[in-house]
Amino acid sequence: MTTPLSLRLDHQIEALPRAYPGPGGAVAVLRDGEVLVRHAWGFANAERRISFTPRSLFRMCSITKQFTCATVLDAFPDPSDLDDDVAARLPLLESAAPGALHLAHNQSGLRDYWAVAMLHGSPAEAPFGDAEAARVIAGTRTLQFAPGTRYSYCNQNFRILSDIVQDRTGRGFAHHLRERIFDPAGMETAFLAADTRALPDGTEGYEGDPLKGFRPAENRILWTGDAGLGACLDDMIAWERFINHGRDDPDHIYNRLSTPVAFEGGAPAPYGFGLGRGTAFGRPMTGHGGALRGWRSHRLYVPDERVSVVVMFNHLSDAHGAAMDLLAATLNVERPGRVVVPQPPWLGAYREAETGLSARIDAAAGGRVRLRFGHSAELLDLQADGSAGTDGTRLRARPDGLWMDRPHENHRVRLTPLGAPETRDVDGRYRCAELGAEVEVADVGGVLYGGFSGFLGQGRMETLDAVGPDVWALPCPRALDHTPPGDWTLAFRRDRSHRIVGLTVGCWLARGLVYDRVG
């Protein structure tokens, strides 16, 4: 029998391939454990003409993190028992090491190793395996912030956790996933797909767009507990049913993953145990997205409605947006529109004192402004009161200046405006003692370029963008991970003679690295 709900979902399913174009995809919607939608379209491998089906294997990427934390909680009910193991993997750290719970909640203070890899000169398509990961992690000497005080996304938090489980038990992490999580949940074909070069059934990930065309994406990373999950749509349906089955059991693993988390000082944290906590259309929600070059996915669960949504694209369309479209149709709500208001007077370039990063704000279409501060540009909706923001970031002008509030990161700060760039005498070679890596700034025909080099190779030279006096941005348009870490802020420092003697390099995922001039 056709119902209003089924009609709304049918309409969304029909619209998805055009709204989020690419080679193929698969989606599922469940309510009270009942499958309302189980649908796939297009090609898992367009060259070999392999159709995308609910049984096609898929790289779930960072959705892996909740499964890693579930395995840790099952094997070690008190994760703090692993704190010494975490410290042992950071032998050069000059301060107290974060604990296992700090890692599970992305509150460790560690710099993300995919970002740091770019500082070591890694080309975007370079191989990155166990040896490279161990060297980057073990070389850590300083943290971005005191553990527990801030949130910052950090992939190796979960790689470290999965490695510890493996080493402490003497059995492979893939075995633990199968025995502790996949088998109890009925995820028959899920597995640890650590090698990103290929999936056994031929499913391919693609990059590109409808205008330029799509091509197979090249990945040569070895993922583990941070992003190694391989699963099909039916596996993820089994996971959502497993969640629904244990919804009233406080000891059920998903309820333990969803337990409230706080920062030091008691402020609630919107991320814990590999799950984001938030709201959707006024309802509490948990979930996580996943992305690797060629792959985008998102899953969410609204406990009050007993609704789950899973979206899997083997291309780079907005899986989160598609998931929200499906959720809106299921709940019979409208996605809110934007109110168009005039552009504010506070557009411009700023620097944020705590991190040392630049914050560049310019106008965007549709009643928005663009903020370049985090690991990707954010489009913030302008509000009638003169502020701009989304659920994650808000900019607000006050009598004492422009304030930026990022509550999900426990971070609120006043931005310092930057004046016009004054000089260009920053070319030279600079070395970071902590990383054993270098950055070169070259003046070529009156244009400044910058590039990183280190034990992973020699990165390409990119055109620098002047931000303010002695502050430049070095773009990072491609990286090992799907999402580049964002533009690097290069903040140069001078001695009393006004000569450039060094700089501090940072992005949101890897801040505050000091370089001294060596040439």
Residues tagged active-site: 62, 65
Taking the CA of residue 403 as centre, how many other CA atoms within 13 Å lie in the half-sphere pointing to its CB?
12
How far apart (Å, rounded) are the C-alpha atoms in residues 39 and 28? 6
Dihedral-angle region of residue 209 (phi above 0 means left; psi in -120 to 50 means alpha; beta otherwise): beta
Supply the DSSP symbol for 221. B
Instruction: Provide CB contacts within 8 A for 434, sequence distance 6+.
Output: 139, 141, 142, 513, 514
Instruction: Provide CB contacts within 8 A for 415, sequence distance 6+.
Output: 350, 351, 352, 359, 401, 402, 403, 404
Q: DSSP string spanning 86-119?
A: HHHT-TT-SSPPPPHHHHHTT-S-PPPHHHHHHH
Identify whether the C-beta of residue 29 lies closer than 8 Å to the C-beta of residue 322.
Answer: no
How far apart (Å, rounded) are the C-alpha atoms in residues 323 and 318? 9
Q: Where are the alpha helices (DSSP H) in 282-361?
A: 319-331
Identify whether the C-beta of residue 151 lies closer than 8 Å to the C-beta of residue 408.
Answer: yes
Identify whether the C-beta of residue 205 lies closer than 8 Å to the C-beta of residue 216.
Answer: yes
How far apart (Å, rounded) are the C-alpha atoms in residues 258 and 277? 8
How far apart (Å, rounded) are the C-alpha atoms in residues 135 and 205? 28
Dihedral-angle region of residue 379 (phi above 0 means left; psi in -120 to 50 means alpha; beta otherwise): beta
How far apart (Å, rounded) are the C-alpha atoms in residues 379 and 338? 12
Identify whether the C-beta of residue 472 lies closer than 8 Å to the C-beta of residue 423.
Answer: no
Hey, what are 45's tokens? 């491998």
How far apart (Å, rounded) are the C-alpha atoms in residues 362 and 382? 12
Q: Dihedrals φ, ψ of 435, to 5°?
A: -90, -20
- Give bridge partners of residue 40 from the DSSP assignment: 26
How far apart (Å, rounded) are the C-alpha atoms in residues 503 and 471? 9
